[in-house]
Amino acid sequence: MSADRYSRQKLFAPIGQAGQQLIREKHVVIIGAGALGASSAEQLVRAGIGHLTIVDRDYVEMSNLQRQQLYSEEDAELRTPKAIAAKGRLQQINSDVSITELIMDVQREELEELFQAADLVLDATDNFETRMMINDVSQLYHVPWIYGGCVGSYGLSYTIIPGQTPCLHCLLETVPLGGATCDTVGVISPAVHMVTAHQVTEALKIIVEDFDSLHKKLISFDLWNNQYTSIKMDNVKKAECPSCGEDASYPFLSPVNQTKTAVLCGRDTVQIRPAVKQDLNLESLRERLHEGDTSLNPFLLSYQTGEQQMVFFKDGRVLIHGTKDITEARRLYHKILG
């Protein structure tokens, strides 16, 4: 390996030779290998991270190529799992980095195993249920994580250090139910890279142990409308928070607070039921579904996309016809409802 590979990074005083050695020794886990995950992974691999684990349940589609920089048309044509395609491209970029690829849908057990092996976790998921589980596992094992999300031209980032900063539960109180996703309102590539610029910069600060330089604020922006906000979060931390408070119970690791899935007997159908009963606005959802055919009555919304038909009920239940694969059903569900 050329001694000059990281020369410009080592010339940056906050990293230097000592920081580069720390980067070489650390293990970062990225949950999700879509737009945010692909961008963060490439930056960390180019920076010389010692060990990178990439976790994703999805495969590459042609619509991903507009913003997911690690993938090719061939990956989309072959429906290559994103974790596999990402590792292949990243090893071409830096063969000196140890990369572990995991094709799976993470739940509590998988998250606990991942966190126990990690120095830092980056969020690149597509749904808040997983994020809230990440948040609770982070607090349980005292491993920092960096939240990130984007849709349209809007993005968010926030760094969570267990025992020091407010956690995501402090910020949100409860999991947001429903809302816009990239599959319903779109996304532009610059918004993705703005989020990961914040995420990876914060990650490097943690990796080189420069904790005093952490932002300590919630960053939000809307690139198209020229808005940028930095909100101080110190006073948001709650002593009674069930995820990070004095008597933490880690509620989102309980099966009670997790989405229920079941394959319906004798049918190629998976039912997905949210942990909390909703009052889903079916008309609003229909307006966001630009691709595919929809039909609406007072009780349900039917949506046909490809070989799958999805039927949404007002209480938040969804029937996904055309598959018995729970992982595939969850993938389709989160693409629409986030």
What residues act catalytically? 182
Q: Which residues of 192-207 are buried (b: 16+ CB within 10 A; e: fewer)?
A: bbbbbbbbbbbbbbbb
Residue type, 265: C
Strand pairing category for 293-296 and 300-305: antiparallel
**Tokens 């198209």, located at residue:** 224
What H or E segment, with its residue span, contains residue 73? helix 73-78
Q: What is the C-alpha to C-alpha distance for residues 85 and 41, in angstroms, rounded to an integer?
A: 12
Integer CA distances (angstroms), 85 to 35, 37, 60, 95, 323, in order: 13, 12, 8, 15, 24
For 126-179, give the DSSP string: S-HHHHHHHHHHHHHHT--EEEEEEEBTEEEEEEE-TTTS--HHHHHSS---S-
Length of the chain: 338
Q: What is the C-alpha to C-alpha distance for residues 146 and 199, in angstroms, rounded to an integer?
A: 6
Q: Name the E strands within the chain.
A: 27-31, 51-56, 98-103, 120-123, 145-151, 154-160, 217-222, 227-232, 260-263, 269-273, 293-296, 300-305, 308-313, 318-321
Q: What is the C-alpha to C-alpha distance for residues 153 and 222, in angstroms, rounded to an integer?
A: 5
Question: For residue 63, how many other CB atoms are within 10 A of its CB?
Answer: 13
Helix residue ranges, H only, 189-294: 189-207, 282-288
What H or E segment, with its residue span, contains residue 336? helix 326-337
